[in-house]
Amino acid sequence: MDQKSAMLADEECSTSGRLSLVVPTYNERANITGLVAAVSRVLEGLDWEIIVVDDDSPDRTFEEVRRMAVQDHRVRCLRRVGRRGLSSAVIEGALAASGEFIGVMDADFQHDERILGVMYRKLCDTEADVAVATRYDGQGGVGDWNAGRQAMSRLATWVSRLVVGGRTTDPMSGFFMFRRDLLDDVVYDLSAQGYKILLDILASARRPLRVEEVPFVFRVRTEGESKISAMVIAEYATLMIEKLSHGFVPGRFVLFCMVGSLGILVHMIVLWASRAAGVGFEEGQLMATFIAMLFNFGLNNEVTYRRWRLSGTAIYGGVVAFCAVCSIGALANVSVAELALTELGSWPLAGLSGALIGGVINFSIADNVVWQVARRRGRASSLQLQRMQPNAYRPEGLRG
Ligand SMILES: Nc1nc2c(ncn2[C@@H]2O[C@H](COP(=O)(O)OP(=O)(O)OP(=O)(O)O)[C@@H](O)[C@H]2O)c(=O)[nH]1
Ligand SMILES: [Mg+2]
């Protein structure tokens, strides 16, 4: 499709509702000006706005956006300070949008802006709730990805389809458009973690959705760097576990266990180092336990509880509470392991049972005590909103 054919000078569509395009950015200074120019060209004739949600990029992408916003009021900049996360950036941008239709696309030109018009038309000409730009149907494709990335993407797409069924060929797509009332329906149920916001929306909807697809070929990034990391992959895995277990196993619990496993590694390294330095076993064990607890607290605060991260002086209270919680978990661990050893007679099984029970107890208490104040604050604001919208779904943590 050429650029002209995708333009939207069409009268019928131009009066059908504003399109708000949400573009999350992190260090996209080299791309953002060109992207806004390209998008405004293809959306000519349509009532549109672009909301760039920038997480205080070190390359100061937000300054570029503000400069454009001064010249064109359809361009808006939402700068988030002390926050990171693609999904939460998209949700907050969409909540700030004024359009009846909301589009989401990356800033790095990998998403072909020339199909925006077709996606918009799919929504306004049909009863569709979502229009997904897909890499896995018809003329779509993943471009120049190497075999490893292709295989990973295929596997992740297959797993995602276990969660959302066959509603779309590309639930992992970051390029899509939807009606604003869909967001209002699902906003309390979104996990808002990680990269895969379309998947989150589709999995959270409690009514059958009509999904239309538009194929496109994923382009190669030419400017700036990818933000895909081990953390992004871990977040994807936890999102899948949470959705597949229908919320029974919270994503936070999975991350908490991963952090705990790393904590054991830290413990063993410190113990080994202290023994090598001639420190006695008991002193070494005490030191290793304390350092591992500090490590676990820090990593959980940065990763598992990123959204409710403790900062400033609250950190001190958090460390003390976390160490106290871990002592309760450790006590339960040892007691259960002793009991299991007597009953089962197998030390690996006994050790595993103790670790599992200790982990569950640590998580339950830490989740409700250490990060409780920040989480309660989040819940309270959700409840306040819910009272204003009685038909909205109940926020996370308050479901029956
Ligand atoms: N606001 C915000 N935007 C982000 C964050 N992480 C990534 N982004 C933006 O989200 C979009 C997608 O990120 P990419 O790193 O390009 O991810 P990708 O396209 O799946 O991966 P590549 O093919 O490797 O580029 C880009 O516009 C990023 O700038 C974040 O933490 N906050
Ligand atoms: Mg990209």
* 220 CB near ligand 1 (under 6 Å): no
Mean pLDDT rounded to a whole number for the chain: 85
* Number of other CB atoms surrounding residue 305 within 10 Å: 22
> Is the beta carbon of 86 within 6 A of some atom in ligand 1?
yes
**Residue 144 CB contacts under 8 Å (≥ 6 apart), including other chains:** 220
Produce one character per residue of 279-295: b if its CB has 16 or more CB atoms within 10 Å, e if not.
beeeebbebbbebbbeb
- CA of 348 relative to ligand 2 center, distance in Å: 44
Return the ligand number nearest the Cα of 174. 1
Residue owning the nearest CA to atom 31 of ligand 1: 85
- What are the structural domain ranges in the chain? 3-227, 251-378
Regarding pTM above 0.85, the answer is no
> What CA–CA distance (Å, rounded) separates 242 from 276?
42
* DSSP assignment of 95-124: HT---SEEEE--SSS-S-GGGHHHHHHHHH
Tokens 């939807």 map to which residue?
Answer: 178
Residue 32 near ligand 1, beta carbon < 6 Å: no
Q: What is the pLDDT of residue 123?
A: 93
Confidence of residue 390 (pLDDT cuts 50, 70, 90): very low
Using a pLDDT cut of 90, give the percent of the chain over it: 41
Ligand 1 proximity of 53 Cβ (cutoff 6 Å): yes
Judged against a pLDDT cut of 60, whether residue 146 lies above it is answered with yes
The CA 76 to ligand 2 mean position distance, Å, reads 21
pLDDT level of residue 15 (50, 70, 90 thresholds): low
pLDDT digits (tens, 9 = 90+) for 244-302: 888 788 888 888 888 988 988 898 898 889 889 998 888 888 888 889 889 999 999 98
Handedness of CA 303, 236, 54, 211 (dihedral sign): negative
Does the Cβ of 41 fall within 6 Å of ligand 1?
A: no
CA of residue 230 to ligand 1 center, whole Å:
14
The domain covering 3-227 belongs, at the CATH homologous superfamily level, to Spore Coat Polysaccharide Biosynthesis Protein SpsA; Chain A (3.90.550.10)
Nearest atom in ligand 1 to the alpha carbon of residue 55 is 1
Nearest CA to ligand 1 atom 9: 25
pLDDT given at position 18: 93
Closest by CA to 379, choosing from 206, 188, 251, is: 188
